[in-house]
Amino acid sequence: MLLKINNPTDYKVAMYIRLSKEDEDKKEESQSVINQRSLIINFIKENNLNLIDTYIDDGVSGTTFDRPNFNRMIEDINSKRINMVVTKDLSRLGRDYIQTGYYLEKFFPENRIRYISLLDGIDTGVDSSTNDITPFKAIMNDMYAKDISKKITSVKRDKQRKGLFIGGKPAYGYKMHPTEKNKIIIDEEVAPNVRRAFKLALEGYSGRKIAGIFTDENIPTPGQYANAIYRVTPTTHFWKSEFIHTMLRNEVYIGNMVQGRKRKVNYKSKKEITMPKEQWVIVPNTHEPIIDKKDFYDVQMLLDKRKPTRTRTHEYLLKGLVYCHECGYLMGVGNRHLASVGDTLYFRCRTHIRNTKYSKCSCHSMREDLLNNIVIDTIREICKKYLDKDKMKKAYKEVKDNNDSMMNKKTRIKELISKLSIINSNLDKVYNDRLSGLLDEKDFERIYKMKKIERDSLQNEIDLLTNISNNNQTNLVDEDEELKKLLKKFLNMKKPDKLLVFTLIDRIEIAKEAGIIVKFKFKVLNDLQDLYVS
């Protein structure tokens, strides 16, 4: 039972409404957006509360908290725009009991948010026995979501075993039947491309050569044909050898329905894992084939005889930081044997390597050890100049007008916090994958170490920018004590430290004409670098 709000003028109210697809399907009036809004507005009017904004996530599952308007509400809470959140019931806030508990027990109290759930009688602004059983309500909501997920999965598996197509889009060369649900038919507009790919494979052409032929002849890629291109890249119009290889391996082209190749980790996660072939759901002879079975299995034999050419993954200091200046993509790394130094890693432009004949990007490369030396020397030089008070004061005077405003710093901090949240979420998922046996110990340690370096780097920058924002002084040397500590630490180290390098550097670009471009995470260091270069 909710108590009367005694001090309504103290509260700035957020009305939060959520309706999931499952709720829509049930067609229950009590779950509708209109009903939720009406119920909450009546409560607001009865208590003379001040409604600041309404946040509606329509058609979004309660098992995820990555919802557009929920995120907007959290931003408004952080900016102190609201201090009360009202929902129809606890399940509208969310059905993941861990995340729901986080907001109820930690986030809302720390931000002094009074949360009210009307039908559950929950009001965190009063001491009530109803509040004590809130965690159990959250668990029940979570169990409901889990039960719904199991039922939906069971129905999908049953349809798959019957050979019914339940995917979003059929394989290239097929399309949905115009009248029969869950059935696919041949798409004669592009099926000839599938037949030709298999014919070329039988003639001994590799996937890469077949992709090159299709690209030369300006055949629309599957993405272009399906109007699925959302971002234009240097390789948007090029066929990829990986797609050709996947096509040549797909039994759907001999009339077999192949589904269940990927599966979600659980009902709370959007992450999918690739299932072993023995767990795929394959139902023979469900639709008209495009490829003759003999031709298909002959192609499989040819593909099996090809030796894999991929080499092991290399580890190096600047991994993940080096980009091509011209095309903007991460540079690839290859190994070469030099008579003078032995095996040596080289940075190379992936776009150029994969599309050499189309003159995409340019041919430029650099030895990994030489780039390390250049980058380390550049950082040392900037460190020394920054720590030189006389030079720094002069430099700051010349670049002062170009420094970020306090608002820009706050925006950057918000961006970093968002990235940090994503990395923490990824770490949780990796840990859960390790516990469930989906990830072996070696991969877990490698991924965890890499993500931890990224997290520590972001946290260092957040701490530094927060200190700068809280200390609004005009003398850059005095207000950047934390940055000075980082730079002194770098100058004193004997061997380059990957974490420290990642803390200081945002990205490194290799350009054909301009050479090496080092971009720091701190604008004042970039300004200082530009000043001395010019």
> Whole-angstrom Cα distance, residue 95 to residue 61?
8
Please choose, from the candidates 101, 93, 32, the residue with its C-alpha nearest in 3D space to the C-alpha of residue 65: 93
Give the count of beta carbons closer than 10 Å to the beta carbon of residue 7.
7
- pLDDT classification of 147: cutoffs 50, 70, 90: low
Strand order in the sheet with 332-338: 332-338, 342-348, 365-367
- pLDDT classification of 296: cutoffs 50, 70, 90: very high
- Report pLDDT for 350: 74
Burial 36-71 (b: 16+ CB within 10 A, else e): beebbeebbeebebebeeebbbeebbbbbbebebbe
- Report pLDDT for 204: 82
Give the count of beta carbons closer than 10 Å to the beta carbon of residue 508.
21
Domains of the chain, CATH where assigned: 8-150 (3.40.50.1390), 174-305 (3.90.1750), 369-533 (no CATH)
DSSP helix/strand/coil, 175:
strand
- pLDDT classification of 253: cutoffs 50, 70, 90: very high
Please choose, from the candidates 505, 516, 181, 193, the residue with its C-alpha nearest in 3D space to the C-alpha of residue 364: 516
Q: Is the pLDDT of residue 15 over 60?
A: yes
| Average model confidence (pLDDT) across the chain | 78
Of residues 52 and 411, more confidence is placed in 52
Give the single-character DSSP code of 493.
-
- Report pLDDT for 11: 93
- pLDDT classification of 473: cutoffs 50, 70, 90: very low
Range list of β-strands (E), 292-351: 322-324, 332-338, 342-348
Please measure the distance between the N-terminal and C-terminal CA atoms of the chain and give it in whole angstroms.
70
- Report pLDDT for 230: 47
Q: Is the pLDDT of residue 122 over 80?
A: yes
DSSP 37-106: HHHHHHHHHHTT-EEEEEEEEET--TT----HHHHHHHHHHHTTS--EEEESSHHHH-S-HHHHHHIIII
pTM of the shown model: 0.43
Q: Is the pLDDT of residue 145 over 90?
A: no
For the segment 163-209, what is each residue's pLDDT rounded down to a tens digit? 888 887 899 999 999 998 889 999 999 999 999 999 998 888 888 88
Residue range 64-76: average pLDDT? 91
Q: Minimum mean pLDDT among 242-256, 275-289, 512-526: which range?
A: 512-526
Please choose, from the candidates 321, 329, 322, the residue with its C-alpha nearest in 3D space to the C-alpha of residue 355: 329
